[in-house]
Amino acid sequence: MPKRGYHHGNLKQALVEAALTLIETKGPSGFTVAEAAKAAGVTPAAVYRHFNGRESLIAECALQGHRIFGDLMEHAYAGGHPTALAAFEATGRAYLAFARKFPGHYVAMFESGLSMQANPDLALAASRSRGVLETAAAELSKHIPEEKRPPASMFSAHIWALSHGVVELYARGTPGAKAPFPPEDLLETGIGIYLRGLGLIRPDS
């Protein structure tokens, strides 16, 4: 991969892009501020013009990731789907697509151990994408009798966990990534099993 350097006058973004590459290849704790600076083509001291240190740099990567993710989730949900079920399934596919296209952002967002309490902007951005999935779950839940309807937050959390598990195990080139089925199929069938259990999809005949 060509080296990403500081060539366009945007030092902050050059450092973010350098950090994203390092996060993708070495993990959020596997690189130093000096390495990020070197990859961006600047001195280590230049990093501190915009960031307090590595955690601050990673937090910016995560923040940008959550904003991209929120855009993708909203676009997936509002894509003119014929049914609430189709709209809901689209949000699950968007999760998988994001993890594949933006692996550095994904790791910064979900595997860096950042404190949401210490990063209110990050917490707000993260709540946006969760809110899309919860809205999709609430809309789909309207087809379940009220006395049997799970809370939308629980419904969406289950699908979020399923999506995250498929990504972690089978969609990111990790040791367990050799699955007998494509990740998209695993996610679709997993969501289908869950929705059948709620009575939202008829059992196979």
At 195, the pLDDT band (50, 70, 90 cuts) reads: confident
- For residue 182, tell me if it sits in a domain: yes
At 26-53, the pLDDT tens digits run: 999 999 999 999 999 999 999 998 999 9
DSSP label at residue 2: P
At 49-104, the pLDDT tens digits run: 899 999 999 999 999 999 999 999 999 988 778 888 888 888 888 998 999 899 99
Q: Domain containing 193 — which CATH number?
A: 1.10.357.10
Long-range own/partner contacts, residues 137-140 (CB < 8 A, 24 or more apart): 137/88, 139/84, 139/87, 139/88, 140/84, 140/85, 140/87, 140/88, 140/195, 140/200
Kindly state whether residues 102 and 154 are assigned to the same domain. Answer: yes
Number of domains in the chain: 2
Phi, psi of 137 (to 5 degrees): -65, -40
- For residue 203, tell me if it sits in a domain: no
Task: Give the range of the structural domain holding residue 4, as residue numbers without chain letter.
Answer: 1-51
- For residue 204, tell me if it sits in a domain: no
Kindly state whether residues 29 and 122 are assigned to the same domain. Answer: no
At 3, the pLDDT band (50, 70, 90 cuts) reads: very low
**Cβ contacts of 7 within 8 Å, gap of 6 or more:** 14, 41
Task: Give the global pTM.
Answer: 0.84
Kindly state whether residues 26 and 112 are assigned to the same domain. Answer: no
At 96-152, the pLDDT tens digits run: 899 989 999 999 999 888 888 888 999 999 999 889 889 988 888 888 888 888 888
Q: Given a cut of 60, is residue 193 above it in pLDDT?
A: yes
Q: Given a cut of 60, is residue 205 above it in pLDDT?
A: no
Kindly state whether residues 64 and 45 are assigned to the same domain. Answer: no
Q: What pLDDT is recorded for position 5?
A: 47
Kindly state whether residues 67 and 29 are assigned to the same domain. Answer: no
Kindly state whether residues 36 and 128 are assigned to the same domain. Answer: no
Kindly state whether residues 74 and 46 are assigned to the same domain. Answer: no
Q: What pLDDT is recorded for position 203?
A: 61
Q: What pLDDT is recorded for position 2?
A: 40
CA dihedral 46, 47, 51, 57 (to 10 degrees): 160
At 204, the pLDDT band (50, 70, 90 cuts) reads: low
- For residue 89, tell me if it sits in a domain: yes
- For residue 24, tell me if it sits in a domain: yes
Cα–Cα dist 150/194, whole Å: 12
Q: Given a cut of 80, is residue 14 above it in pLDDT?
A: yes
Kindly state whether residues 27 and 113 are assigned to the same domain. Answer: no
Q: What pLDDT is recorded for position 9?
A: 64
- For residue 191, tell me if it sits in a domain: yes
- For residue 114, tell me if it sits in a domain: yes
Q: What pLDDT is recorded for position 7?
A: 47
Kindly state whether residues 39 and 109 are assigned to the same domain. Answer: no
Kindly state whether residues 90 and 169 are assigned to the same domain. Answer: yes
Kindly state whether residues 33 and 71 are assigned to the same domain. Answer: no
Kindly state whether residues 109 and 41 are assigned to the same domain. Answer: no
Q: Domain containing 21 — which CATH number?
A: 1.10.10
Q: What pLDDT is recorded for position 174?
A: 53
